[in-house]
Amino acid sequence: MALMAQREFNVDKNASFSEWYNTVIYAADLVDVRYNVQGFVVHKPWSTRVLRKLYSLFEAELEKDGHEPVSFPVVIPKENIDKEAGHLEGFAPELFWVTKGGNNELARPLALRPTSETAFYQMYSLWVQGIGDLPLKYYQSCSVYRYEHETLPFLRGREFMFIETHTAFAERAEAAAQVAKDMVIARRVLEGGLGLALMQFVRPHWDTFPGAENTYANDVVMPDGKVNQIASTHMLGQHFSKPFDVSFEDASGEKKYTFNTCFGPGIWRVMAALIAVHGDNKGLIFTPVVAPVQVVIVPIFKAETRDAVLAYAVKARLALEKKGYRVALDDSDKSPGFKYNEWELKGVPMRLEIGGREAEAGNVTLVRRDTHEKTVVPLAVLPRAVARAGKALAKELAKRSKAELKARITKCKSIDAIGKALDGKGGFCRVNICSTGSEGTACGKLIQERTAGKVRGMLYGADEKASGKCVACGKPANEVVYVARQY
């Protein structure tokens, strides 16, 4: 494995998060943006391995929930995109178009998928012939294309990785139940598996996904106080099934349109959150579940102890590999201190230090990446000690993320207070508002204009009771919403 710190890493994350992020993604060899098209990023092996793990975590959950994988074409003809007016309006400014094939102008332009509703429903109209074809639950893991103006690796790209599910049901209640399951899956993977503390929202009506009736989102707060929406799910109702004619005849012979949902775990954005939320001034910290290397072994030797130490280090590696751990043995000629820094920068969760003394006594020194806590462990119980340390690390990262999120929620009673809080520690402002329905649109817009924040929505599944007055219009408040600046 090539280990090259491409830039010196010496940036204080708390002092300048943006500089830290922009340095660590290169220093840890995650990406190279020198490819000569803006917003199209080359992913190096270290990030590619993590991204594959992230895909597989979500794919496993989706398949457990009855979704099956498919792979759709990257191009969507213009006539499909034109079919749903809200969707078209939302995505038109971001579309890339293929207009030529060789020297010929194409008779009809083809868009690179910005998301694939209009590709899937074209086919669902053929595949759904009767109620026996329902429910239909497919997903694809792919990259999508959007003409973004400002780009930043893992947060905003012209090409980025995500998963999209597209479902069709006979009944509205089934579609609603799917949306609820999507939210459970998001929480299980992101919070349970990856230790990212989430805020789950029902988005206000003026800010739903183009073509959706309702949008539900999972937000993570980044260290600079701005939020990163990392997975959203949408109740599409019959917005797509009607124009695409995804329909069936019920028992009485009446034509019925399906109810549809789609769920989009943003694999790229989950990566951004992992980097940003868990990383520290020494670099990245990956939890064992996604770390490309879970344990690195650093042998410490002089010329005369070299053979014995290396032989012992191999024994330790084999003991862990036998239990399924991903292990690297760094026997390069660099100094131990240099190796510690380099592997810490890359976020390997655990390190074994093995010197002559350890080899002789049959021990290893186990060091955690998050706390730098050192434990001397007999080789015989090493796999168990590594399992325990890995679990403790994951728990510690989750705890830190939770505490960080909690500290970034501020109750605000006026628009000025929102602006002040967002200028200060950022995060979420909890405010009372008259409505998140269409009648509250003007209030939502006013808050957004005056604070540069966005109304993220009502807390999902919490049923918080509003009190007092709407911060925007002063009328009695009926809903509690959260406002934040976003990526």
DSSP code, position 379: G
> In the bound complex, what is the minimum distance in angstroms from residue 445's beta carbon to Zn ion?
11
Between 51 and 434, CB nearer to Zn ion: 434
> In the bound complex, what is the minimum distance in angstroms from residue 219's beta carbon to Zn ion?
22
SS3 state at 88: helix
SS3 state at 235: strand
User: Which residues lie below 8 Å from residue 326, measured CB to CB, with a gap of 6+?
Assistant: 291, 292, 293, 294, 295
> In the bound complex, what is the minimum distance in angstroms from residue 204's beta carbon to Zn ion?
12
Closest residue by Cα to residue 225 from 429, 438, 435: 429
Interacting residues with Zn ion (CB under 5 A): 434, 443, 470, 472-473
Do the Cβ atoms of 226 and 487 come closer than 8 Å? yes
> In the bound complex, what is the minimum distance in angstroms from residue 98's beta carbon to Zn ion?
45
Between 185 and 443, CB nearer to Zn ion: 443
Distances (CA, A) of 224 to 269, 278, 404: 15, 13, 11
Between 385 and 431, CB nearer to Zn ion: 431
DSSP code, position 192: I
Between 128 and 443, CB nearer to Zn ion: 443
Between 204 and 211, CB nearer to Zn ion: 204
> In the bound complex, what is the minimum distance in angstroms from residue 454's beta carbon to Zn ion?
16
DSSP string, 359-370: HHHTEEEEEETT
**Tokens coding 360:** 């002789």
SS3 state at 75: strand
Between 222 and 415, CB nearer to Zn ion: 415
Closest residue by Cα to residue 241 from 144, 175, 146, 143: 175
Residue whose tokens read 């012209």: 158
> In the bound complex, what is the minimum distance in angstroms from residue 474's beta carbon to Zn ion?
7
What H or E segment, with its residue span, contains residue 110? strand 104-112
DSSP string, 299-320: E---TTTHHHHHHHHHHHHHHH
> In the bound complex, what is the minimum distance in angstroms from residue 470's beta carbon to Zn ion?
3
> In the bound complex, what is the minimum distance in angstroms from residue 279's beta carbon to Zn ion?
39
Q: What b-and-e string marks burial along 92-101, b requiring 16 or more CB atoms within 10 Å of the CB?
A: eebbeeeeee
Between 289 and 473, CB nearer to Zn ion: 473
Between 162 and 482, CB nearer to Zn ion: 482
CA atoms of 250 and 213, how far apart (whole Å)? 24
